[in-house]
Amino acid sequence: MSGLLPHPTSDHSSCKIFLPKELRSCSHVFIRDDKVKSPLQNAYLGPYKVESRTEKNFVLRINNRRSNISIDRLKPAFIENDIKSHEFTHYAQNTQSPNKENNKLPKTHYTIWAP
C-alpha cells in the first residue's frame, strides 16, 4: 500500500481555443451571443469597433459605451472599404435598353376554359 500514489487530477482549464491570427490586428470584431436562440437568429452580434486590446480581453465600443469582452467570444470582422456611389450612378446613366418590347415581363396568369 505504501507504493500507491494518488492519480493526478485532470486540468480542464488548459484546453486550447482556436484564435484567428487576424484577431490581433483587426479594427472591428463580432461578439458571440451565448443565449438560447430561435431558428435563423444570428450567433454573433456586431461588428463593434476595437478601442484597445490586452492578451485576454478587448475593450470595445458598444452603444457609445466601453465594454471589456473576453477574447474567447470574439471573431474578427472583415469590413470592405466604402464604395463610392458615383461609380454606380455613372454606370447606370450609360446603360440603356435597346428595345422596350423586350423589357416586358412574361404573362404569369393564364385563364383556361373547359369545353
Which residue type does 77 have? Answer: A
pLDDT tens column, 47-98 = 999 999 999 999 999 999 999 999 999 999 998 875 454 454 545 455 555 5
58: domain CATH number? 2.30.30.140
Q: What is the pLDDT of residue 86?
A: 45
Is the residue at 67 inside a domain? yes
Is the residue at 39 inside a domain? yes
Mean pLDDT of 17-46: 92
Detail the DSSP E strand segments found in the chain. Answer: 28-32, 44-53, 57-62, 65-70, 74-76
Helix ranges (H only) for the chain are 85-94
Is the residue at 21 inside a domain? yes
Is the residue at 6 inside a domain? no
Is the residue at 85 inside a domain? no
Is the residue at 38 inside a domain? yes
Is the residue at 102 inside a domain? no
Spatial contact of 28 and 49, defined as CB atoms under 8 Å apart:
yes
Q: Where on the phi/psi map is residue 109: left (φ > 0), alpha (ψ -120 to 50), or beta?
A: beta
H helix or E strand, kind and range, residue 108: none
Is the residue at 59 inside a domain? yes
Q: What is the pLDDT of residue 29?
A: 96
Domain total of the chain: 1
Instruction: Indicate the average pLDDT of the chain.
Output: 80
Gap between the Cα atoms of 33 and 73, Å rounded:
8
Gap between the Cα atoms of 28 and 50, Å rounded:
5
Mean pLDDT of 108-114: 72
Mean pLDDT of 34-55: 93
User: What residue numbers bound the domain in which 56 lies?
Assistant: 17-80
